Structure 1
Amino acid sequence: MSKEFTIGSKVRVVALPPYVKTADPMPMLRPPDVIHLGEEGIVLDRRPGGYWGIRFAKGAFLLDSQYIESIDTPTESHTDLE
Structure 2
Amino acid sequence: MTPRHTGVSESRRDRETAARLATLEDRLEAAERQQRLLRTTVAGLVREVGCSLGCQCSRCEGSYTFVKDGSMYCPRCGDREPL
The TM-score, its normalising length taken from structure 2, stands at 0.23
More helix by share: 2
Which has the higher Rg, Structure 1 or Structure 2? Answer: 2
The TM-score, its normalising length taken from structure 1, stands at 0.23
The structure showing larger relative contact order (alpha-carbon pairs under 8 Å, at least 6 residues apart) is: 1
